C-alpha cells in the first residue's frame, strides 16, 4: 500500500480527474480531483502517515468539496439547455386524426391514427365510425379524447386544402 502514501501518485490522480471533467461534465469529477490534491498535500506535509488515513481523508474531503462548493461553482459553469413545452398535450389539441377503429357508443374505446401511431381513443359518448375524421379534445394518460368532425366541415377542409 506504499502507492497510497506517495504524494506524487495522488497529484497525478488529481490532474487526471480534473482533466476528465472536460470529457465527463457534471461538476463531480473535478471535486474528486480536489480531494486527491488535499490528500497529496497532507501526505507531503506529514499530516497523514497511513493508507487508511489517506483514503479516509480522500472520501471526507471529496464529499465536503462536492456538497460545499458544487452549488457555488455551478452558477459559473452553466450548461446549454432549453426549456421546451413540458405540457405535451398543448401540442396535440385540435389536431385532426383518422379514426381506424369505431369509437363508442358510450365509453367504448376505439383507435385513431396520429403521428404515425395508432392510439386508443374515447369519444364523448357518441359513435364515431371507422374511416371518418375526428379532432383531439384532450388526453387521459394513453388515450386520446376525440370529437367527431361533421362531414360538411370535413369536405370544406378538403376543398380549402386543394391548390387551384
Identify whether residues 120 and 146 lie together within a single domain: yes
In a domain, residue 79? The reply is no
Which among 17, 41, 74 is the end of a domain?
A: 74
In a domain, residue 82? The reply is no
Identify whether residues 45 and 106 lie together within a single domain: no
Which among 74, 107, 133 is the end of a domain?
A: 74
Identify whether residues 6 and 68 lie together within a single domain: yes
Q: Which residues pair with 111 in a beta bridge?
A: 101, 120
End-to-end CA distance of the chain: 84
Identify whether residues 64 and 36 lie together within a single domain: yes
Give the contacts of 96 (CB within 8 A, at least 6 positions apart).
Answer: 133, 134, 135, 149, 157
Identify whether residues 45 and 107 lie together within a single domain: no
In a domain, residue 156? The reply is no
Q: How distant is the alpha carbon of residue 14 from its chain centre?
A: 31
Which among 23, 39, 74 is the end of a domain?
A: 74
Please give the average per-residue pLDDT across 83-93, as a whole number. 60
Identify whether residues 70 and 131 lie together within a single domain: no
Identify whether residues 68 and 94 lie together within a single domain: no
Q: How far is CA 53 from CA 41, 50, 60, 71, in A?
A: 13, 5, 10, 28
**Neighbouring C-beta atoms of residue 42, cutoff 10 Å:** 19
Q: Taking 50 as the threshold, does the pLDDT of residue 164 lie above it? A: no
CATH number of the domain enclosing 102: 2.40.50.140
In a domain, residue 158? The reply is no
Judge if pTM exceeds 0.85: no
**Neighbouring C-beta atoms of residue 38, cutoff 10 Å:** 21
What angle do the packed helices 29-45 and 7-23 form, to 10 degrees?
170
Specify the number of domains making up the chain: 2
Per-residue model confidence as pLDDT tens digits over 89-109: 556 678 888 899 888 777 788
Domain limits for position 54: 2-74
Identify whether residues 66 and 116 lie together within a single domain: no
Query: Would you give the DSSP letter of residue 76?
Result: T
**Mean pLDDT value across the chain:** 81
Per-residue model confidence as pLDDT tens digits over 106-141: 778 889 888 888 888 888 778 888 888 988 888 787
Supply φ then ψ for residue 127, to 5 degrees: -90, 130
Amino acid at each position: 500500500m506504499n502507492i497510497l502514501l506517495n504524494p506524487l501518485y495522488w497529484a497525478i490522480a488529481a490532474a487526471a480527474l480534473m482533466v476528465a471533467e472536460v470529457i465527463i461534465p457534471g461538476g463531480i469529477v473535478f471535486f474528486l480531483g480536489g480531494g486527491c490534491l488535499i490528500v497529496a498535500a497532507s501526505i507531503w506535509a506529514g499530516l497523514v502517515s497511513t493508507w487508511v488515513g489517506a483514503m479516509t481523508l480522500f472520501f471526507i474531503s471529496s464529499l465536503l468539496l462536492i456538497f460545499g462548493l458544487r452549488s457555488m461553482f455551478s452558477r459559473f459553469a452553466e450548461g446549454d439547455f432549453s426549456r421546451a413545452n413540458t405540457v405535451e398535450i398543448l401540442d396535440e389539441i385540435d389536431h385532426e386524426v383518422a379514426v381506424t377503429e369505431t369509437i363508442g357508443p358510450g365509453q367504448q374505446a376505439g383507435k385513431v391514427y396520429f403521428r404515425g401511431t395508432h392510439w386508443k381513443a374515447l369519444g364523448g359518448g357518441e359513435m364515431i365510425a371507422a374511416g371518418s375524421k375526428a379532432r383531439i379534445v384532450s388526453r387521459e394518460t394513453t388515450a386520446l379524447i376525440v370529437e367527431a368532425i361533421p362531414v360538411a366541415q370535413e369536405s370544406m377542409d378538403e376543398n380549402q386544402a386543394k391548390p387551384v
